[in-house]
Amino acid sequence: MSERPFITCHVLDTISGKPGAGIDVKLKLISPAQATTAHWTATTNSDGRVPAWTSSANINEIVSKVKTELADGDQMVWSLTFDTEKYFGQGKTFWPEVELRFAAKKEEEHYHVPLLLGPWSYTTYRGS
């Protein structure tokens, strides 16, 4: 079994009460900006989860490299972007895409970011 990525996410559709399956997601390291130009992509599975990211760069290798360069107490800033208009249909959502930016501490081993999504609202929190 492969190693769990540093960042995982999960989408739940609050209208249907079911997992948000088939949502395209992009992951990007925003800060430190010089760390990498790589970005990662995925599509949520039937359970609404992103179990692995697709890219030419291994996310865990990049995170390990960045962590060695960060001073104690420094953070990485990440962006998750969800293509919600493709999921709900053109013109059927107020949010054509949802971008979540969050800070990740050097000392942490894993971040899970759930998204509770409807066509007119969304909420998120730090998962486990």
Diameter of the chain by CA atoms? 45
For residue range 13-30, list pLDDT tens digits in order. 999 999 999 999 999 999
Distance CA 46, CA 11 (A): 10
What global pTM score does this model have? 0.89
User: What are the tokens at 97?
Assistant: 């895409």
pLDDT (mean) for 116-126: 98
CATH class in words for 7-124:
mainly beta
Contact predicate 8/27, CB 8 Å:
no
What are 64-110's pLDDT values in tens digits? Answer: 888 888 888 888 999 999 999 999 999 999 999 999 999 998 778 89
| pLDDT reading at 51 higher than 80 | yes
CA–CA dist 101, 111 (Å, integer): 12
| pLDDT score of 1 more than 50 | no
Domain ranges of the chain: 7-124
Which SS3 state, helix, strand or coil, does residue 12 take? strand
pLDDT band at 4 (very low <50, low <70, confident <90, very high): confident
The values of phi and psi at residue 110, to 5°, are -160, 145
d(CA 47, CA 66): 31
